[in-house]
């Protein structure tokens, strides 16, 4: 399978890879950006695309287009962590810049509880004011992707300088350990190590990450299994389930239905 298959599955490429422009990492030197991409898509007929959560918070600067039947003026959205699959409708022209952030980085930049954004999208102006709308308008006027990426990086540097850098060491540690274990480390162990009650640990984790620790761990495990399956689509499902800590094949299929909206076999068709 091609290396871009995983992005195709997640809906990142919006059907054709040549309509996506990836920003070079050098454009965001010193910033905690997972990825930044530009889209320029033209669909003569309405389409719906599968959206599979990937564990990042997204800042989307919509420059032009139609989304869910509504024509958009230049605007900016923040899309929180999702714990389920979804779809998105599109027809006509769509141009946008999407910045993917680690949830802890997003919390520092936005300064709001991340669980308020769970499974939702909110105008970024609610957090950063009218200047964000003006930024989206400027991005729409700029003719080249490198110049757009540079302007977005400038905005992120300004926000980073003003961000509250205080972090909760217990949550930061828990996130790191869940990622290291691909979501398999028992939540009870992390709660005990934090020194908090299980209830307080769950609340603090969800506030700073956007999902409760159990759901976040499930998403990490699913993402690892999806990556493996995208690399080797003929892989035996029972073996895949065992390799990633699922109780059995049925357990794996339930997670795929939840996060991808389809069982593995249909997803890869």
Q: Is the domain defined by 5-162 classed in CATH 1.10.3470?
A: no
CA 41 to chain centre: 20
Residue 66 has what pLDDT?
A: 64
Mean pLDDT computed over 182-187: 96
What pLDDT band is residue 88 in, cutting at 50, 70 and 90? confident
Domain 169-267 CATH superfamily = Homeodomain-like (1.10.10.60)
pLDDT at 170 over 60: yes
Q: Please determine whether the domains at 5-162 and 169-267 fall in the same fold group of CATH.
A: no
Task: Classify each residue of 142-161 as buried b or exposed e, where b means 16 or more C-beta atoms within 10 Å of its C-beta.
Answer: eeebeebbebbbebbeebee
Residue 259 has what pLDDT?
A: 95
Mean pLDDT computed over 134-138: 94
Cα dihedral 148, 152, 157, 159, rounded to 10, equals 150
195-225 pLDDT, tens per residue?
999 999 999 999 999 999 999 999 999 999 9
pTM of the complete model: 0.89
26-35 pLDDT, tens per residue?
999 999 999 9
Domain boundary assignment for the chain: 5-162, 169-267
The encoded tokens of residue 20 equal 């996506």
Residue 70 has what pLDDT?
A: 65
The encoded tokens of residue 218 equal 């499930």
Residue 178 has what pLDDT?
A: 97
| Angle subtended at Cα 15 by Cα 10 and Cα 19, rounded to the nearest 5 degrees | 110
Please report which residue ranges of 163-186 form alpha helices under DSSP H: 169-180
DSSP state of 163: S
């Amino acid at each position: 399978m091609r290396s871009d298959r995983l992005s195709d599955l997640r809906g990142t490429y919006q059907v054709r890879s040549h309509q996506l422009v990836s920003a070079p990492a050098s454009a965001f030197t010193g910033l905690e950006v997972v990825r930044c991409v530009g889209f320029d898509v033209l669909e003569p007929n309405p389409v719906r695309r599968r959206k599979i959560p990937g564990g990042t918070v997204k800042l989307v600067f919509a420059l032009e287009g139609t989304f869910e039947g509504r024509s958009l003026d230049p605007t900016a959205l923040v899309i929180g962590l999702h714990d389920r699959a979804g779809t998105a409708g599109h027809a006509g022209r769509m141009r946008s810049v999407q910045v993917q952030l680690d949830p802890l980085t997003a919390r520092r930049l936005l300064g709001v509880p991340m669980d308020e954004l769970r499974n939702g999208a909110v105008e970024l102006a609610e957090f950063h004011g009218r200047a964000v709308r003006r930024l989206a308008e400027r991005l729409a006027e700029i003719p080249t992707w490198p110049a757009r990426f540079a302007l977005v990086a400038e905005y992120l540097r300004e926000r980073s300088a003003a961000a509250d850098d205080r972090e909760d060491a217990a949550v930061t540690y828990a996130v790191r350990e869940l990622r290291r274990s691909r979501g398999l480390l028992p939540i009870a162990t992390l709660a005990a190590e934090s020194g908090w009650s299980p209830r307080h640990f769950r609340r603090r984790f969800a506030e700073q990450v956007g999902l409760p620790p159990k759901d976040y761990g499930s998403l990490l495990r699913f993402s690892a299994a999806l990556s493996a399956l995208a690399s080797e689509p003929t892989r035996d499902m029972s073996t895949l389930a065992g390799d990633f800590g699922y109780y059995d094949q049925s357990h794996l299929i339930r997670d795929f239905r939840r996060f991808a909206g389809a069982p593995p076999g249909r997803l890869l068709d």
